[in-house]
Chain A
Amino acid sequence: MAPKSKKAPATIADKTLVVDNGAYTTKAGIVVASGEPTYDNCHVFQNCIARSTRDRRTYIASELDSCKDFGGLAFRRPVEKGFIVNWESQKAIWEHELIGSAKGGPRCDPRETNLLLTEKPNCPRELQKNCDEIVFELFEFAAYYRCVGPTMNAHHPSPHSSSTVPQECVLVVDTSYSDTTILPVYSGRLIQSAVRRLTVGGKLLTNYLKELCSLRHYNMMEETYLLNEIKEAVSLVALSEQQFASDLERTWKGRLGDRKPLDPSIVVDYKLPDYEQLIHGYARPHDPEKVRKGRAAVNHPREDILTLGNERFAVPELLFNPGDIGIQEVGLPKAIMESLNALPPMLKAGMLTNIVVVGGNALIPGFMGRLESELRALVPSQYVLGISRAEDPIKHTWLGAACLASQPQLLKEVLVTKAEYDELGSTLVARRFAGER
């Protein structure tokens, strides 16, 4: 929560559009004053415009739900590294999903609605300014608050108390599509100097898997959509570096003349979609005989199989060992400690008891176990470690922001109205969002 502004508006609209605008998906929904928002109020859509060279159609955001052929689909994404850089495409997507008649969309009228919009930490100021100008001068929202998305997780009702004030200490780990960020939040306010970022996010993992599969199996460099589906279906995080090493043995083919059978308890065969009979592929345990028969295509349609071994765990391993591909950053557990070590001991102790993990990569099986055990080894024994994954890591930041938006007295303090913007201009408005007075 930003500090109290001197000029709180007298009255505000009772409807707020809450938008957690991600590079991969956007999470959006209308929240009414004093309502009790839930995950179900959140509309999730792909934040992109896609073009198919096969059916020559262009798909805007949720229109992709009706797409039947994802082969060679090309994407245009308005958000890069987590920041809105292309307003031409972002405007088209918002008009389609937030204002227009997209299925499940909020269909709001901006002039009668407040906007609560999230951004990634460390956003370049020029991009913030562009965003504020578009929100007020183009969409003309009634009032608006721009904030660092993950900090909104402090506004979930605390498990320890029933009060409506933000939780005192929350360390948010947001491992999402663009990157992974670590944010200590004190009473709803971000401690900026201790924010840390890892280059590795879901996008890099998908692209890495695409590169590996294209080298080892088929050329799949134009199949981003498919590789993302494969990644979500097969990825797992090794429980420890020792487990990683033994998994590497279990998935090794052995030497020429001394072949080792691939372990079907870890190696999988992914049946690739043909976009005629099968739109979405699936994984099954590796069976060399079945692969051979499928390829032979006698008395049945040909089966295209992608056999995946060490790719399953070597790809998400980058979150813990970015150095495996030469990225000069420590892994996530050490980066969390780096952030905490920038805090006074009392705050460090408080943050350690309440680490909340959000973002899609938190759903990879094994991720939380590996993170917790490696953190435990790094945290001095006198500290208590409390770490949990949000119930729905993708919608949790949205719901936190929705909790703030549902409390009129808190919302009033942070909103800037259109009239105030017209009077103050974008520079002063940006300062107010930054907590400067």
Chain B
Amino acid sequence: MPLVQVLPNTASTAAPGYTYVVDTGFDPSKAAFNPKDRKRVSHRPGGRRGENELSARQQGVIARRIADLNRDNDPKQVIAIPSNAKSIPAKTQNTRRILAYQRQIKHWLDEEDAMLQQAAQAPTNRPAAGHTLRRQSTFSRGTTMPPTPAEMTPVPTAAPEPTSSSVRLTADSKTEQLLSVDDILPPPLNQAELEALLAAPPLSYAASHAAAPTPDGPPQRRFCDNCGYWGKIKCLKCGARVCGLECKNAHEATRCLKWA
């Protein structure tokens, strides 16, 4: 039975974006019992959309659902603050402005992303060049591939220092014993390397998210849209999964077109 798998696209938006590729047959219940006996995902990046791929509209539905599940406040709901005689008055213009903001988090994250993008495009417009450049490198993590360990670990500029000045970990005796037995003690930490690591600026919020699963990992598990059991049957109208005829009928009576 064909299965669709969701893969991330490379667009750099704060909200997750999605592209979909066709997967060949896969029974999630079998894979769960035999995790090693899984079939490889065959995927076609680009090209015409196959019959099992989700439409842009379906991708949008999934993204909106996740955003809904992750929402903190309902913008339709207005709850006034009860008046309080002892309330501290805002004396400065700054504080009056800040207290008046009714923006949601999305505004601030989008603004931060826009600022980083601007800084990346114009790296020499400020005297605090180091600051801007670091921001640029921060941003690049969000737009390109997940970093390799080599990218994330600054290469020490100084020559390796003698062992006496390198940092030793106070690992407990168990660690030392095991490490020495196996003779695989990691190389000692170089002081310059450590300082560079500790001085690295924060990632942007968008760039801090964990990577998407790799395509060679287990495919996304699919569940019945109605009851949550394994989704073995695909609804031909909308592509959602159901477990059997009974749930298919319930699905068609309730949520079917929601996912179309």
Contacts and interface: CB of A to CB of B under 8 A. Distances in A.
Interface string B199-211: 1111111011111
A41 B16 CA distance: 41
B47 interface: no
Interface string A162-199: 00000011000000001001000010010111111111
Contacts of A77: 72-73
B248 to A, nearest CB: 11
A388 interface: no
Contact of A92 (B81, B174, B244): B81
B152 A346 contact: no
Interface stretch (A227-235, A264-272, A298-306, A323-331): A323-331
B111 A126 contact: yes
A55 interface: no
Contacts of A252: 227, 229, 243
Contact of A196 (B69, B82, B186, B208): B208
A88 interface: yes
Contacts of A76: 73, 77, 79
Contacts of B108: 83, 85, 124, 126-127
Interface in B121-161: 146-147, 149, 152-153
A309 B228 CA distance: 9
A134 to B, nearest CB: 6
Contact of B149 (A169, A215, A324, A342): A342
Interface in B227-241: 227-230
B98 A130 contact: yes
B33 A384 contact: no
B169 A168 contact: yes
A350 B70 contact: no
Interface stretch (A25-33, A202-210, A281-289, A394-402): A202-210
A160 interface: yes
A95 B18 contact: no
Interface string B56-70: 000000100110111
Given A134-B98, A347-B189, A349-B175, A191 B6 contact: no
Nearest to B35: A241
Of A58, A168, A349, A435, chain B has the most CB atoms within 10 Å of the CB of: A349
Interface string A77-100: 101110101111101100110001
Interface string B12-27: 0000101000000000
B45 interface: no
A323 B220 contact: yes
SS class of chain B's interface: helix, strand, loop or mixed?
loop
Interface in A7-44: 23
Interface in A233-259: 241-242, 244-245, 248, 252-253, 255-256
Contacts of A50: 79
A392 interface: no
Contact of A346 (B103, B169, B174, B212): B169
A329 B210 contact: yes
Contacts of A189: 198
A215 B98 contact: no
Interface residues of B, number: 98
B128 to A, nearest CB: 10
B232 to A, nearest CB: 11
Contacts of B179: 349, 382
Interface string A51-65: 100000010100000
Contact of B208 (A121, A137, A203): A121
A435 B134 CA distance: 14
B164 interface: no
B247 to A, nearest CB: 9
B32 to A, nearest CB: 4
Interface in B88-107: 88, 90-92, 94-95, 98-105
A168 B170 contact: yes
A420 to B, nearest CB: 17
Contact of B79 (A49, A130, A245, A325): A49
Nearest to B188: A346
B70 A199 contact: yes
User: Which are the 8 A-B pairs with shortest beta-carbon distances?
Assistant: A345-B186, A80-B105, A245-B32, A342-B152, A335-B210, A80-B72, A124-B112, A76-B79
14 contacts: A60-B82, A76-B77, A88-B99, A91-B99, A137-B91, A203-B72, A212-B228, A215-B254, A324-B221, A328-B7, A329-B211, A347-B197, A353-B172, A434-B201
Given A95-B84, A194-B152, A310-B229, 18 more contacts: A58-B82, A76-B77, A92-B81, A122-B207, A123-B205, A124-B111, A138-B99, A192-B203, A207-B70, A242-B32, A325-B66, A327-B66, A328-B213, A335-B210, A338-B210, A346-B186, A346-B189, A349-B169
Interface of A: 23, 49-51, 58, 60, 74-77, 79-81, 83, 85-89, 91-92, 95-96, 100, 121-127, 130, 133-134, 137-139, 160, 168-169, 178, 181, 186, 189, 191-199, 203-204, 207-208, 211-212, 215-216, 241-242, 244-245, 248, 252-253, 255-256, 309-311, 314, 321, 323-330, 334-335, 338, 341-350, 353, 382, 384, 434-435
